[in-house]
Chains A and B, each alone.
Chain A
Amino acid sequence: MFKKNMAPRRTQQVRAGPSTEQSYVYKVVLLGSTAVGKSSIAFRYVKNDFRESMPTVGCSFFTQLVCLETATIKLEIWDTAGQEKYHSVCRLYYRGANAALLVYDIARKATFARAKLWLRELEKEFLHDEIVIVLVSNKTDLAAQREVTFEEAEEFAKSRSLIYMETSAKSNHHVTEVFMAVAHKLLKQEQQKESALQHQPWKKSRVDLREPSNQTKKCCMN
């Protein structure tokens, strides 16, 4: 079973039985304006279905298991409400997140601006390598009413080194891919971290008490 707590950066490794396959739990949060399709994206991903949904109240919580070749990942998806009155509590929901999907509606320019504001807020809360951020432009089925061009969004995403993807929860376009991209990216980061620890033991940040440290020697010399 996965242990649950609310501590930030709670990436736990749980050995699944005798096999060496590893399990990870990651928190993914969906942020964005009202009616951009956050809940629809979550619903499409978890239930593979689409329905006109009502505005979310507070936030909804889903979990989804992703089985990759080398590891099993449990995504804890926090689908937040876009309404302003919940803005103050949103912090509660994105705190300690491993990934954030900034969702906007391609047919409404204002929602793109709002996504940028969310990014600024996340940048205040997290260090750059602490969180995987995906800019998700939803509702590609409304291409005729498009107000935000692909190029504009892509360029913005590139400048802030975000992952950029266009989706449509309604016509099931690239929704699963977004979450898979998140899962792969998180896993890659995890593996990089591990291999960094394995291959470069001198670079590990932890203090090992068993190792004689230079400081003691210095002390003696003083």
Chain B
Amino acid sequence: MAADVHKKKGWEVPNGSLVPTDGQPMERSESPTPGLVQGTEPGAGQEGGMFVHTRSYEDLTSPEDGDVASRSPEEGRGDQADQTSMAHISKDFSELSTQLTGMALDLEEEMRLSQENEMDLSPQTARRDSARSEKEDEDVTMEAWRMHQKHVFVLSEAGKPVYSRYGSEEALSSTMGVMMALVSFLEAEKNAIRSIHADGYKVVFVRRSPLVLVAMARTRQSEQEIAHELLYIYYQILSLVTWTQLNHIFQQKQNYDLRRLLAGSERITDNLLDLMARDPSFLMGAARSLPMAAGLRDTVSTCLQQAKAKSLVFSILLSRNQLVSLVRRKDQFLHPIDLHLLFNLISSSSSFREGEAWTPICLPKFNSSGFFHAHISYLEQDLCLLLVSTDREDFFTISDCKHRFQERLRKRGVSHALLEALRTPFYSVSQVGIPDLRHFIYKSKSSGLFTSPEIEAPYVSEEEKQRLLELYQYLHSRAHNSSRPLKNIYFTGPSENLLAWVTSAFELYMCYSPLGTKAAAVSAVNKLMKWIRREEDRLFILTPQTY
């Protein structure tokens, strides 16, 4: 990866010559309805996707409303078209269930009010004692603390610490004060700070009133990607407290200590940061589906679909952050970000392994003003069932859905086959039959799913795996660079060659041995695409179900 800038070569592939199903690439900013190309790529679902339609990486980072965008110009460059559909869904939903929360307000109204009132607030100074959890406190003056690859800080607009990835927030309050000063200084000039680049570090700022998120990274990620990760942290906080409550609190009391409310959930945020550093799902903005025979998956999905209840919105079956099945209410779509937050919540706590959990959770991309109630239980060692309900009183009804689902699985005699499939969550890249191919990531944009083989030799050690993901991150950031996006990249490194191909329908990242030639790599694309097409019913969820 060293000195990669000089080794990178431009590479143009005549579109359509490689894969017959791919037509002319379209501009990202066109309408969000699937065009001719999208929806026919390998892995595309037959009856539309399961997720909110996200056409590109930028869609994921696009803010949910215009006001926020104007307050934080660094993130306001998303596809506008998708926002409207998102807003529409949220609106539908808030009409659908008013019992969701007592605080369900018109989001825009609330937003306008919050802006108008912000200046009138008299700061109260009652300092509350925060219930600190036994977070491992690191000495922030030590060299070891400075050596971390990526620091993440969250602070309130009053400059009060909310979260720090390493070290205690108290010890960092003066550092956070400086950060807030930097933000405020530029804002006074009607400007906004986006990033500072110095000495191999990138300091990235994301402003999401009433919070400011700051990352200080020595990684090779682009500024855009670091900002993307910060947004995930922001959404993670929203999923715990809701956007409405967060704003309400800070309207009441500008210098509120948010740590008090977030106490005990730092590890969820810690886990999210760790997960983003090693799971390509976040980079791809998609979910990985667990490979299994299409017939088996369909049966499982049908069982899941039949175990429904009135208040159920989503039934999700997952295994170690891989999607087994997802059933949703008709005309309700899950956003990949929300799904990632759910995956993160489940993987961050072992407490779900026992008993049945029933917890309020906000899905900020779906509806940032209210809580859903999630029923979380493990059916088997690595098989987790997540049932998302709108009614917090419905525990026993939802718990019954779980039992009905298990009962149906047993009656249909697929329990055993399902367990068998869980035992082989990955496939080997050798199945593709391309000798020089080491690894790949293929994302079908219309289904919001991606597939990827097991990471094998030479990427055995954690560092090597990390390095491979960083290479993908690099290609991804080049392909999705907001000012100069690339469609095709061929990258020659010292230890491997990589190829990236981004079209309106799919994204493909391939990693070859360093001995192969570019011509061979290009011809391998065709072969890989054919293989994926052949295996698509196993690798993807082609027939998603609704209640």
Contacts and interface: CB of A to CB of B under 8 A. Distances in A.
Contact of A4 (B131, B264, B400): B400
Contacts of B133: 34-35, 55
B351 A56 contact: yes
B427 interface: no
B97 interface: no
A6 B263 CA distance: 30
Contacts of A59: 357-359
A57 interface: yes
A83 interface: yes
Interface in B120-166: 131, 133-134
Nearest to B262: A85
A61 B345 contact: no
Nearest to A63: B355
Contact of A39 (B351, B356, B393): B351
B330 interface: no
A130 B396 CA distance: 22
B355 A53 contact: no
Contacts, number: 92
Given A54-B350, A55-B351, A89-B392, A84 B263 contact: yes
A89 B357 CA distance: 14
A156 to B, nearest CB: 22
A50 interface: no
A53 B133 CA distance: 13
A62 B265 contact: no
Interface of A: 4-6, 33-35, 39, 42-43, 46-47, 53-62, 79, 81-86, 89, 92
A48 to B, nearest CB: 12
Given A4-B400, A35-B134, A47 B393 contact: no
Contact of A42 (B265, B355, B356, B395): B355
B267 A79 contact: no
Contacts of B396: 4-6
30 contacts: A6-B395, A34-B131, A34-B264, A35-B134, A39-B351, A53-B350, A53-B351, A55-B264, A55-B267, A55-B351, A56-B351, A57-B351, A57-B352, A57-B357, A58-B358, A58-B360, A58-B373, A58-B374, A59-B357, A60-B354, A61-B357, A62-B354, A79-B355, A81-B359, A82-B264, A84-B260, A85-B241, A85-B263, A86-B359, A92-B392
Interface string B327-366: 0000000000000000001001111101111111100000
B510 interface: no
B56 to A, nearest CB: 32
Nearest to B134: A35
* Most chain B beta carbons < 10 A, residue from A33, A43, A60, A89: A60
